[in-house]
Amino acid sequence: MTTIHPTAVVDARAELADDVVVGAYAVIEGTVRIGAGSEVMANACVMGDTTLGEGNRIFPGAVIGAVPQDLKYEGEPVRLEVGDHNIFREHVTVHPGTGKAGGLTRIGNRNLLMVGCHVAHDCVVGDGVILSNHVLLAGHVYVQDGAIMNGASACHHFTTIGRLAYVGGLTRITVDVPPFSIVEGHPARVRAANVIGMRRSGMDEDDVQAVKRTLHRILISQRVSSSEAIEEAERNSDGNRYIGELLEALRASQAGRQGRALERPRG
């Protein structure tokens, strides 16, 4: 049975599954759809054309689906799609897309967004991502599966945080973060391979060590140019799919604008 506190405000257009819980003074406004087992806690707000899957938990003060903070937005229809079993802690804000970029912000499954995080318009967040307190994603950022971003790290628009990457606290990210890497600093620098993250994901130890050696050769040792190191790694990869994933990401970043694969060169 759906439980709605008497002080909550729920739009007649909203669609709530049978066992959704809506807390005191919560507001659900617009054509919102909320899946089974989800909870919108006291003083939280879910707005707009927003779809939440099953088992999501929206903590007090979070605002999910408010219109984007983009001066180019002119009221066109835009959407926010959220998968299953995500946690949005206190004062998290997540915005839908903008019309000029497809109109969609998308968040996958089993993600944890801690206190005060911001996910701006047109972002994509994969599965199993952790955004620690006050992580800031500008527009058009892509955070891939299993990435961890520590407190108060902030992303320039159009940056990509690679799969199983680990970003240190207070890191300023203006270029793509390679998959499997540990990045930290202001501006960000690749410090090491995320060996622990790779192991936790179930990667074979031989693959972990192969990726570690390749990443160090290309991004840390700097004994040869990165282009030469990428070519050498390609020749010596023996078809390793994880090395292939790393090299593909590095080449995409080089082809983009200022090291951002999602931002094509202008002019």
- Which residues are known to be catalytic? 121-122, 139
Q: Tell me, letter by letter, the H, E, C secondary structure of the chain.
A: CCEECCCCEECCCCEECCCCEECCCCEEECCCEECCCCEECCCCEEECEEEECCCCEECCCCEECCCCCCCCCCCCCCEEEECCCCEECCCCEECCCCHHHCCEEEECCCCEECCCCEECCCCEECCCCEECCCCEECCCCEECCCCEECCCCEECCCCEECCCCEECCCCEECCCECCCEEEECCCCEEEEECHHHHHHCCCCHHHHHHHHHHHHHHHHHCCCCHHHHHHHHHHHCCCCHHHHHHHHHHHHHHHCECCECCCCCCC
As a whole number of angstroms, the distance between CA 25 and CA 113 comes to 22
Q: Tell me the two tokens of residue 263.
A: 């931002």
As a whole number of angstroms, the distance between CA 180 and CA 160 comes to 13
Instruction: Give Cα 100 distance to the centre of its chain.
Output: 20
